[in-house]
Structure 1
């Protein structure tokens, strides 16, 4: 029986390079709206979402989550669709 071509097998999600999803402060969105959006789009609790919102508000940026690139891009795009300022970067 021939061996499968390993070059055709996609890498497992837990083996993909990690990426950070960052939330940036903005002067447009209401704090409650930001908390609600974080809760809707991430696995964070309301309490943690409020902490992250305050971190972004006071420090300029907060780390929302670390995940593989495709999921990080999805979450970033969902946050942007809700008018929040978000970016991703490799987790070095």
Structure 2
């Protein structure tokens, strides 16, 4: 009989998958006839990590083309941004990135 014992310790696994391994989703801003252009830019800057110049470009693309990609992230965060944009009166959706 041996006096030494081997203890199997389970390998630590991350409780959350890394962000770069999660499937990407787009947050899409849709044009509407309700909000003025400045409000859209202000809302984008307030609730997303978007600079004013980029927010202006996104707003114009949505205005002229009907929709624009605001950002791409994992699904849970994309849904959070969609909801925050909605709370500012904007129409946004989440779609899988192709």
TM-score (norm 1): 0.91
Gaps of 5+ in 1: none
Cα distance in 2 for residues equivalent to 1:88 and 1:75: 9
> What CA deviation, in whole Å up to 9, does each residue of 1:49-85 have, x standing for no partner?
1111000000000000000000000000000111100
TM-score (norm 2): 0.85
Say if 1:10 and 1:43 are closer, same or farther in 2 by CA, change over 3 A: closer
* 1:82 equivalent in structure 2: 88
Of 3, 7, 10, 2:10 maps to: 3
Higher-Rg structure is 2
* 1:46 equivalent in structure 2: 52
